[in-house]
Amino acid sequence: QVQLVESGGGLVQPGGSLRLSCAASGRTLNSYDMGWFRRAPGKEREFVGFVSWSGMLTYVADSAKGRFTVSSDNYKSTVYLHMNSLRSEDTGVYYCAAKRRGNSQYDDWGQGTPVTVSS
């Protein structure tokens, strides 16, 4: 099991930037890969981005391409979601999640950090 704690959310104006962090703890972190998800008000949870624990493989959802990137820092056991050119539709609660490498399902989730994009 992996314990995850997100931070870095807040209020930002349209066009602004935020960096979300997800600190992970557990005995076998290098066996896991990480995902970022969000839940907008009144909507289903959706995938935002993926990063392998090594940081060698990353990808983001189409809605985030060109604006968001994901990265990892193994020494800090932390993964990041870098968000630029934020839009009002990016508002929501952002979660990081962990899955065992090779699995399709994410089993461990953080508590989420809220992001509000508004002027």
- In one letter, which amino acid is 70? V
Task: Say if residue 110's pLDDT is above 90.
Answer: yes
DSSP 88: G
Share of the chain above pLDDT 70, in %: 100
By C-alpha distance, which of 93, 95, 91, 92 is closest to 117?
A: 91
Q: For residue 29, what pLDDT band results from cuts at 50, 70 and 90?
A: confident
Taking only the tens place, the pLDDT of each residue in 65-90 is: 999 999 999 889 999 999 999 999 99
If phi > 0 it is left, if psi is from -120 to 50 it is alpha, else beta; for residue 57 that is beta
Q: Which pLDDT score is estimated for 1? A: 85
Give burial (CB, 10 Å; 0-12/13-18/19+) of 110: buried
Taking only the tens place, the pLDDT of each residue in 46-62 is: 999 999 988 888 999 99
